[in-house]
């Protein structure tokens, strides 16, 4: 059994639970603080737990990506979503609330944090970690980073209720993040659905070719990133992760991300999905499709089905992430509230004020999110 401690990425004593994660983290470190994301700067370290090692991500300086910044998450990223979803007085009030939250988080240096088990994906998968060594982990992190809040992200009530309870007992502050959708048994929830059966016919109906991409070429990586950026950055928000080609190549080469292409009859890549697996669960942090193609081809539907088909073949559960609620509900997914858990008792009161007020404000929104999730 390993001693719980913080280590440098290149420490020879690290005992990774998944060797692919070790290869990936070392590759990211080689890219430097700005080599993976164009809109974020960070350093990396490792937390050695008893049965696994997990990545520590430490934002450095101003951040413009919601993956690395509470300020960006509840500031510009939230306002971009408000602009898409709300109108009139409701939108004005929501935007005002976002500006106030952003100001408070800036004043209390809320980005001065260390993320635990963060691989730069929109959803962090925690596998079967129960938190049995949580107290030791917190002691090691507080000793190493006395001026940073400690944050675990992507914990939802469906998958992590016991872990959330353990963290709350240890002094963790639960900060509501979003509603995520889950397929715990894809064969029962997803496969029998009428919408799914229609989705699975689309590729054949339009003579599209679906194929894995274990060794994508530089040109294929460029195409995937262009499709991703056209939707998630150009259409939705510039606070979404602006990945580099070096990042994507490192993730695929290390084995933490698997790409699958959808090609037109001409051979051009017109959609793709990127899957990440941790123990018994799969998430799809990267997705893209060509928005200039005819809607009848159903490229989004095809791409969304790719990951679940893999999960079925390998006996995995699916974290379907957030967004597209009606689409995911119609394909059997069930909602769950997701949280970040912040440990900040070692920080001075003025530093804790931002997280505390944010948590209370978001708690008041819980009934609304539950109604939205219920449809």
pLDDT in tens, 222-240: 999 999 999 999 999 999 9
Indicate if the pLDDT at residue 156 is higher than 90: yes
Cα–Cα distances (Å) from 165 to 131, 141, 169, 274, 338, in that order, read 10, 20, 6, 32, 13
Q: What is the pLDDT of residues 16-37, one digit of tens each?
A: 999 999 999 999 999 999 999 9
Mean pLDDT of 98-113: 95
Query: pLDDT category, 372, cuts 50, 70, 90?
Result: low
pLDDT band at 182 (very low <50, low <70, confident <90, very high): very high
Q: Specify the pLDDT at position 370.
A: 74
Q: Please report the pLDDT score of residue 25 as a whole number.
A: 98
Tell me, what's the pLDDT at 375?
61
Q: Is 68 helix (H, G, I), strand (E, B) or coil?
A: helix
Mean pLDDT of 147-159: 96
pLDDT over 90 (residue 373) = no
Quick check: 369 and 322 in contact, CB under 8 A?
no
pLDDT of amino acid 365: 76
Specify the pTM. Answer: 0.95
pLDDT digits (tens, 9 = 90+) for 51-76: 999 999 999 999 999 999 999 999 99
- The 10s digit of each residue's pLDDT in 253-289 is 999 999 999 999 999 999 999 999 999 999 999 999 9
Confidence at residue 192, expressed as pLDDT on a 0 to 100 scale: 97
Chain-wide mean pLDDT for the chain?
95
pLDDT reported for residue 271: 98
Inter-residue contact 250 to 24 (CB < 8 Å): yes
Quickly count helices (H) and strands (E) in the chain.
14, 12
Angle between helices 245-254 and 19-31 (to 10 degrees): 160
Cα separation, 274 vs 285, in Å, equals 6
């Amino acid at each position: 059994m390993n001693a719980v401690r913080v280590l440098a990425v290149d420490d020879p004593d690290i005992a990774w639970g998944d060797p692919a994660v070790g290869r990936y983290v070392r590759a990211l470190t080689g890219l430097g603080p700005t080599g993976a994301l164009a809109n974020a700067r960070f350093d990396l370290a490792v937390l050695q737990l008893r049965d696994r090692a997990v990545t520590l991500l430490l934002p450095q300086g101003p951040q413009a990506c919601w993956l690395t910044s509470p300020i960006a998450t509840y500031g510009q990223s939230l306002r971009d979503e408000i602009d898409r979803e709300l109108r009139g007085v409701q939108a004005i009030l929501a935007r005002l609330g976002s500006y106030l939250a952003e100001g408070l988080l800036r004043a209390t240096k809320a980005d001065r944090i260390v993320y635990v088990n963060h691989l730069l994906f929109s959803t962090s998968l925690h596998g079967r970690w129960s938190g049995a060594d949580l107290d030791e982990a917190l002691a090691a992190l507080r000793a190493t980073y006395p001026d940073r809040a400690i944050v675990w992200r992507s914990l939802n009530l469906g998958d992590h209720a016991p872990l959330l309870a353990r963290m709350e007992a240890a002094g963790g502050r639960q900060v509501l993040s979003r509603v995520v959708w889950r397929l715990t048994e894809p064969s029962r929830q997803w496969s029998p659905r009428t919408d799914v059966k229609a989705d699975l016919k689309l590729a054949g109906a339009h003579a599209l070719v679906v194929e894995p991409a274990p060794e994508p070429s530089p040109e294929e990586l460029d195409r995937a990133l262009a499709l991703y950026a056209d939707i998630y950055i150009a259409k939705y928000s510039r606070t979404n992760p602006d990945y580099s080609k070096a990042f994507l190549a490192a993730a695929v080469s290390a084995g933490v991300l698997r790409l699958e292409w959808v090609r037109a009859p001409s051979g051009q890549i017109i959609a793709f999905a990127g899957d990440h697996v941790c123990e018994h669960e799969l998430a799809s942090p990267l997705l893209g499709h060509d928005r200039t193609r005819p809607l009848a081809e159903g490229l989004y539907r095809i791409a969304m089905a790719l990951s679940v088909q893999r999960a079925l073949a390998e006996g995995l559960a699916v974290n379907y992430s957030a967004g597209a609620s009606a689409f995911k509900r119609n394909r059997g997914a069930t909602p769950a509230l997701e949280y970040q858990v912040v440990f900040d008792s070692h920080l001075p009161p003025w530093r804790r004020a931002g997280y505390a007020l944010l948590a209370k404000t978001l708690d008041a929104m819980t009934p609304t999110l539950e109604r939205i999730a219920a449809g």
